[in-house]
């Protein structure tokens, strides 16, 4: 397939610029742009900043945990650190990451559209995100919150003396940002597809973003109202969630987890979409079982709303309800497993290149599989009683969120970097960083499974001496992981100035986004492209073609 | 697609309509949990919730419901007239909508004043609900009452603002956008009405027969 | 236009039934009747004022999906609340002593 010529920046005869990057150089032109591509970059910069703030909190925690004694920070500070880490990583980084950066940039290109359905709403979404972020930073600078990112009552509503309301305000505002983004994507996918692109011809990334958007629209408002109720209770000292005043802390937990469980699928479904783009490209085969992959995405999104009670097995929830949630939690593994099987089958007799994006995508599949399997441990009532609130849970969700979602995010960054920036990065450095991240990740988090199983509780800053060896391994791994995360910052930034100019399709990938120049012009396509070609136009599975 | 008024839909109409309905879906999930909180209270403290419910103002609540339902009628009429091209009668209809909306908020404000004077505002020292053995649970009812009705009132105020905006746009140079805007804002208004349709029996009618 | 007026009349009739019906001692039937009437009113507003009746299927799906999700929240949370025996302790929401200080004291001394 056609790689295409590189598109150096130049002005066209009619005065328009040849790429969205050169369509206005002032800060004002960036901050008032309705162009989905520029808004994607605004998001990319802000979430990266928050990622590093959240990472610093984690680094401080891992530093404390090198020794059993509480010798680096005191208990109160440690509580604020893990809360900051959770709040920032979940709401300021993971939830917006792939949807708001790559959903924004790539989705319209993939469906052959000029922009999202509501471009001004898109810009408003970013401003709400930035505004909410400011609240979060303010709360942090004033000393932070010590309730944990889960804000359990009655501690958060009655007894905590930290800046709960400020943090809640930040999360609330960011929540509205994500609702509007989800709304925009849903209407875009329904109404702006290129002629000929039926639902079964859409790339799986679009399916994934669509399903994510449905979850965003339906689940996030529940979080918003719950945090509002929490704030009202904290101010008025009434007891909806306070048992002393007639309330029920489990009411808060039901409402909180009704959002927060689908929220983890908001983080992982886009990652699955990214994997479904990268793996076919670098195996030179169409994805195996497209229909099942699409239906599995929808299945995961639907079932994700039915399982939230598995976070409450030991909170006092009735045993009957716990059993129901346990059974439902097992069922969500089925569509997830289908996807893992199909990614694997896509590789069969493929012509595989272990490029950096492929390393990240394959790493995603392996680590997501691991994390998913341990989810089944946690879904079993009896096992959960033993490992809940221990490092086992911490390891489980970091395997999914870091091993899964963050690796997929980095895969997406590398895969679409040439398209977004018009530059190629150093493949050698990228592969090295990917391997360092994979190694560092496993070294950090695998020991935590063992720690948790042996009984080390989570959110503790000191621990019995016999846990030290595993903790040292984990902290050492964290240092390696930090190095791995810093490397892309370096070589990607370097590529902006010194990287080779990218052709429109450097990976010989299939998909409408690769038919535009790198970087694309502001209006994406001169004419609506033909959407009737099948997605994943690679040699069929089982063929010996390269 | 032609609606009952003979108005022909464009793709922009369909897109805007879908966008507003998706937004309303999110609003359903926003108000819904408040009803869950109410149901929890009703389940855990049935006598206190019923006693507290009896202490709300039956007549003001019923009148307000009638006011809001009527305002929805006039929104629908305004849209029908605008789609037919009868812009002046459409604007008159919107005037009635804004008036009824304002009446609703005034009545609500009056109710709040009465609640304040009768010691029914939770969190204050003189709180007391008649015939409620468990005053703390009765406070819970009133927490939900004020939270839900204030949230609803904020949405009403936004709705009134939107109606004034649509009325202004209808007075300007005629364009398809004005009618589309009215349809979208009308959907929002009707949704806020539907929320009240459920709030009214929950907050005002429980335990009335005892 | 006629449809709109008829819808409004139906809504007013339902309002009278629900408001004055609640004054009759029907026991648990009161709550059920009120809920059903509220649902009926909502359907009337949605179908005739919001034109859901002649909208495309996608719009109706959007409305239904949200309602289904909300029902799931109620049903699965209900599975917990209805099967949990809540035993209230002596100092929980004590009688008429309401000041938050007294409750805080009770909680802290507990």
Partners of C73 on chain A (C-beta within 8 Å) are 222, 254, 258
- pLDDT at position C102: 57
Question: Could you tell me the pLDDT band of residue C28, with boundaries at 50, 70 and 90?
Answer: confident
DSSP state of A92: I
- Quick check: C110 pLDDT over 50? no
Per the CB < 8 Å rule, is B205 touching C34? yes
Averaged pLDDT, A437-450: 97
Cβ-Cβ contacts under 8 Å, C92 against chain B: 136
How many Å separate Cα A54 from the centre of its chain? Answer: 14
Chain A residues within 8 A of B144 when measuring between CB atoms: 240
Residue to substitute from C72, C76, C110, interface A, most A β-carbons within 10 A:
C76
CA distance A303 to A268: 14
- Is C66 within 8 Å of chain A by CB? yes
Distance from CA of C15 to the nearest CA of A (A): 28
CA distance to partner chain B, nearest, from residue C25 (Å): 5
**Do A452 and A393 contact (CB within 8 A), yes or no?**
yes
DSSP string, A24-49: --SHHHHHT---HHHHHHHHHHHHHH
Whether C80 and A309 lie within 8 Å, measured CB to CB: yes
Residue B163: name the closest of B187, B147, B142 by CA. Answer: B187
What is the distance in angstroms between the Cα of C80 and the nearest Cα belonging to chain B?
11
Q: Is residue B156 part of a domain?
A: yes
Each residue's pLDDT tens digit, A531-543:
888 899 998 887 7
Q: What is the pLDDT of residue B145?
A: 96
B199 found inside a domain: yes
User: Least CB-CB distance to B17: which of C38, C59, C66?
Assistant: C59
Q: Give the residue among A87, A294, A114 at the shortest CA–CA distance from A191.
A: A114
Q: What are the φ and ψ backbone dihedral angles of B13, each rounded to 5 degrees?
A: -60, -50
Closest CA to C51 of C15, C5, C3, C85: C3
Taking CB atoms and an 8 Å cutoff, what residues of chain B touch A186? 18, 22
Query: CA-CA-CA-CA torsion for A171, A172, A175, A177, nearest 10 degrees?
Result: -110
Picking from A155, A168, A206, the residue whose alpha carbon sits closest to that of residue A91 is: A168
Region A292-307: what's the mean pLDDT?
97
> Which residues, in sequence order, are CB contacts of A441 under 8 Å at separation 6+?
A367, A402, A403, A407, A477, A481, A484
Q: Mark yes or no for CB contact A246/B37 under 8 Å.
A: no
Q: Quick one: average pLDDT of B125-144?
A: 86
Tell me if chain C has a CB within 8 Å of the CB of B200.
Answer: yes
* A-to-C residue pairs, Cβ atoms closer than 8 angstroms: 58
Q: B106 at the C interface (CB within 8 A)?
A: no
Residue C13: Cβ-neighbour burial (10 angstroms; 0-12, 13-18, 19+): exposed
Place of tokens 């609606």: B3
Quick check: B43 contacting C, CB < 8 Å? yes
Please count the residue pairs, one from chain A and one from chain B, whose beta carbons lie less than 8 angstroms apart. Answer: 87
Integer angstrom CA distances of residue B144 from A505, B106, B139, B203? 57, 20, 9, 9
Predicted pLDDT of residue B4: 52
Chain A touched by B11 (CB under 8 Å): yes
Residues of B in contact with A226 (CB under 8 A): 33
Polymer length of chain C: 110
- The chain-wide mean pLDDT, for chain A, equals 93
pLDDT tens per residue across span A346-377: 999 899 999 999 999 999 999 999 999 999 99
What is the spatial distance between Cα A494 and Cα A488, in angstroms, rounded to a whole number? 9
Q: Does C79 touch chain A if contact means CB atoms closer than 8 Å? A: yes
Instruction: Identify whether the C-beta of residue A172 lies closer than 8 Å to the C-beta of residue A227.
Output: yes
Domain interval for residue B198: 11-205
| CA gap A197, B192 in Å, rounded | 37
Give the nearest partner residue to C93 out of A218, A246, A317, using CB atoms: A246
Cβ contact, residue pair C1, B77, below 8 Å:
yes
Residue B6 lies in a domain: no
Q: With contact defined as beta carbons under 8 Å apart, do B140 and A247 qualify?
A: yes
Q: Is residue B2 part of a domain?
A: no
Nearest CA in chain B to A233: B143
Q: Is C108 exposed, middle or buried (0-12, 13-18, 19+ CB in 10 A)?
A: exposed
- Residue B209 touches chain A, beta carbons under 8 Å: no
Mean pLDDT across B68-75: 97
- For an interface test with A, which of C80, C82, C92, C103 has the most A Cβ atoms less than 10 Å from its Cβ? C80
CA neighbours within 13 Å on the CB side: how many for B117? 6
- Check if A103 contacts B (Cβ < 8 Å): no
Both tokens assigned to A155? 């501690």
**Which residues on A lie below 8 Å from C76 (Cβ)?**
306, 308-309, 321, 324-325
Of A218, A221, A238, the CB nearest to B123: A238
Q: Quick one: average pLDDT of A56-85?
A: 95
pTM beyond cutoff 0.90? yes
pLDDT at residue B105 tops 90? yes
CB proximity list for A11: less than 8 A, separation 6 or greater:
A17, A18, A22
- Judge: C50–B36 Cβ closer than 8 Å, yes or no: no
Q: Which residues, numbered 141 to 160 in chain B, qualify as contacts with chain C under a Cβ-Cβ cut-off of 8 Å? A: none
Whether residue B194 and residue C18 make contact (CB cut-off 8 A), yes or no, is no
Q: Is B15 in contact with A187 (Cβ distance < 8 A)? A: yes
Q: Which of A318, A173, A143 is nearest to A248 (CA)?
A: A318
Complex-level ipTM: 0.93
Contact of A217 with chain B, judged by CB distance below 8 Å, is answered with yes
Mean pLDDT of B120-145: 86
Q: Looking at chain A from residue 131 to 190, which residues have their Cβ under 8 Å from any Cβ of chain B?
A: 179, 183, 186-187, 190
The answer to whether the CB atoms of A244 and C66 lie below 8 A apart is no
pLDDT digits (tens, 9 = 90+) for A195-229: 999 999 999 999 999 999 999 999 999 999 999 99
Of A249-258, B4-13, B27-36, least confident by mean pLDDT is B4-13
Among the partner residues A190, A219, A239, nearest to B18 by beta-carbon distance = A190
Of A79-88, A508-517, B80-89, minimum mean pLDDT range: B80-89
How many domains are contained in chain B? Answer: 1
**C3, C27, C29, C38: best to mutate for the B interface, most B CBs within 10 A:** C38
Per-residue pLDDT at C91: 62
Suggest the residue from B33, B53, B69, B132 to mutate for an interface test with chain C (most C CBs closer than 10 A): B69
Lowest mean pLDDT among A8-22, A470-484, B83-97, C85-99: C85-99
Coil, helix or strand at residue B111: helix
CB of C77 within 8 Å of a chain A CB? The answer is yes
pLDDT of residue B133: 80
Cβ proximity of B144 and A240 under 8 Å:
yes
The structure tokens 């899964």 sit at A404
Q: What is the mean pLDDT of residues A115-144?
A: 95
Mean pLDDT of B182-206: 96
User: Is the pLDDT score of C95 beyond 50?
Assistant: no
Which of A225, A244, A248 would you mutate first to test chain B, the one with the most B CBs within 10 A? A225
Instruction: Tell me the average pLDDT across A171-184.
Output: 97
| Residue C105 C-alpha, separation from nearest chain B C-alpha, in angstroms | 15
Tell me the CATH number at B177.
1.20.120.80
Contacts of B159 (CB under 8 A, 6+ apart): B101, B185, B188, B189, B192
Range from A121-125, A403-407, A530-534, B133-137 carrying the lowest mean pLDDT: B133-137
Interface partners of chain B (CB pairs < 8 Å, 3 or more) are A, C
Cβ neighbours around A485 below 10 Å, total = 18
A259: its two tokens: 């959002």
Over pLDDT 70: what percentage of chain A?
A: 97
**If we measure between CA atoms, which residue out of A408, A469, A470 comes closest to residue A437?**
A408
**Residue A246 Rama label (left phi>0; alpha psi -120 to 50; beta):** left
Q: Do B33 and A220 touch (CB under 8 A)?
A: no
């Amino acid at each position: 397939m056609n790689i295409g010529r590189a598109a150096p920046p130049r002005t066209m005869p009619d005065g328009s610029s040849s790429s969205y990057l050169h369509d206005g150089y002032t800060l004002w032109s960036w901050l008032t742009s309705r162009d989905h591509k520029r808004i994607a970059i605004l998001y990319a910069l802000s979430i990266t900043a928050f990622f590093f703030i959240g990472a610093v909190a984690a680094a401080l925690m891992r530093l404390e945990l090198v020794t059993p004694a509480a010798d680096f920070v005191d208990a109160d500070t440690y509580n604020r650190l893990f809360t900051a880490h959770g709040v920032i990583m979940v709401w300021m980084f993971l939830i917006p990451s792939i949807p708001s950066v790559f959903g924004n940039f790539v989705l319209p290109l993939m469906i052959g559209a000029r922009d999202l359905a509501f471009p001004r709403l898109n810009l408003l979404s970013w401003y709400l995100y930035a505004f909410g972020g400011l609240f979060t930073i303010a709360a942090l600078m004033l000393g932070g919150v010590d309730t944990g990112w889960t804000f359990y009552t009655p501690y958060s509503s009655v007894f905590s003396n930290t800046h709960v309301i400020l943090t809640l305000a930040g999360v609330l505002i960011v929540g509205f940002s994500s609702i509007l983004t989800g709304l925009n994507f849903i209407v875009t996918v329904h109404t702006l597809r290129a002629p000929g692109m039926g639902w079964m011809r859409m790339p799986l990334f679009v399916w994934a973003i669509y399903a994510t958007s449905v979850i965003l629209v339906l689940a996030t408002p529940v979080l918003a109202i719950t945090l509002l109720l929490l704030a009202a209770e904290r101010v008025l000292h009434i007891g909806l969630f306070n048992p002393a005043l007639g309330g029920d802390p489990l009411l808060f937990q039901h409402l909180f987890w009704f959002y927060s469980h689908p929220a983890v699928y908001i983080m992982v479904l886009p990652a699955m979409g990214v994997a479904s783009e990268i793996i076919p490209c670098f195996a030179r085969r169409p994805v195996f079982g497209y229909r099942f992959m699409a239906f599995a995405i929808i299945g995961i999104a639907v079932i994700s709303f039915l399982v939230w009670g598995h976070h409450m097995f030991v909170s006092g929830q009735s045993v009957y309800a716990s059993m129901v949630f346990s059974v439902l939690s097992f069922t969500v593994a089925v569509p997830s497993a289908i996807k893992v099987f199909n990614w694997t089958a896509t590789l069969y007799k493929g012509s595989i290149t272990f490029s950096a994006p492929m390393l990240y995508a394959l790493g995603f599949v392996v680590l997501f599989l691991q994390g998913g399997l341990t989810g089944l441990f946690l879904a079993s009532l009896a096992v959960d009683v033993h490992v809940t609130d221990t490092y086992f849970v911490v390891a489980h969700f970091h395997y999914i969120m870091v091993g899964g979602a963050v690796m997929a995010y980095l895969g997406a960054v590398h895969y679409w970097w040439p398209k977004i920036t018009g530059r190629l990065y150093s493949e050698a450095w990228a592969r090295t960083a990917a391997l360092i991240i994979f190694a560092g990740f496993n070294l950090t988090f695998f020991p935590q499974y063992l720690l948790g199983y042996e009984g080390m509780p989570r959110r503790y800053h000191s621990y019995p001496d016999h846990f030290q060896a595993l903790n040292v391994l984990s902290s050492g791994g964290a240092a390696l992981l930090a190095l791995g995360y810093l490397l892309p910052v370096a070589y990607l930034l370097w590529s902006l100035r010194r990287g080779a100019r990218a052709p429109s399709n450097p990976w010989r990938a299939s998909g409408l986004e690769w038919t535009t120049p790198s970087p694309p012009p502001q209006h994406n396509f001169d004419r609506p492209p033909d959407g009737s070609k099948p997605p994943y136009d690679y040699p069929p599975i089982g063929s010996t073609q390269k | 697609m032609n609606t009952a008024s003979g108005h022909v839909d464009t793709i922009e109409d369909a897109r805007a309509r879908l966008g507003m309905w998706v937004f309303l879906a999110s609003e359903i999930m926003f108000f819904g949990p408040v009803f869950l909180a109410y149901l929890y209270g009703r389940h855990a403290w049935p006598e206190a919730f019923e006693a507290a419910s009896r202490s709300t103002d039956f007549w003001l609540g019923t009148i307000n419901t009638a006011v809001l339902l009527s305002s929805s009628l006039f929104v629908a009429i305004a849209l029908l007239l605008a789609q037919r091209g009868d812009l002046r009668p459409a604007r008159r209809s919107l005037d009635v909508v804004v008036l009824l909306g304002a009446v609703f908020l005034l009545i609500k404000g009056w109710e709040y004043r009465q609640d304040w004077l009768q010691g029914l505002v939770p969190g204050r020292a003189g709180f007391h609900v008649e015939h409620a053995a468990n005053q703390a649970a009765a406070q819970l009812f009133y927490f939900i009452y004020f939270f839900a009705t204030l949230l609803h009132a904020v949405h009403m105020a936004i709705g009134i603002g939107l109606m004034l905006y649509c009325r202004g746009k209808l007075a300007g140079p005629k364009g398809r956008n004005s009618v589309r805007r009215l349809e979208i804002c009308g959907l929002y208004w009707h949704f806020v009405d539907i929320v009240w349709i459920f709030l009214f029996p929950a907050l005002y009618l429980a335990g009335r027969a005892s | 236009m006629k449809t709109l007026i008829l819808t409004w009349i139906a809504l007013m009739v339902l309002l009278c039934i629900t408001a004055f019906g609640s004054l009759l001692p029907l026991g648990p039937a009161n709550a059920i009747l009120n809920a059903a009437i509220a649902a009926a009113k909502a359907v009337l507003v949605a179908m005739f004022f919001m034109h859901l009746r002649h909208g495309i299927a996608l719009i109706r799906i959007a409305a239904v999906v949200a309602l289904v999700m909300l029902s799931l929240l109620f049903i699965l949370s209900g599975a917990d609340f209805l099967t949990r025996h809540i035993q209230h302790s002596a100092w929980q929401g004590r009688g008429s002593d309401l000041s938050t200080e007294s409750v805080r004291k009770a909680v802290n001394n507990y």
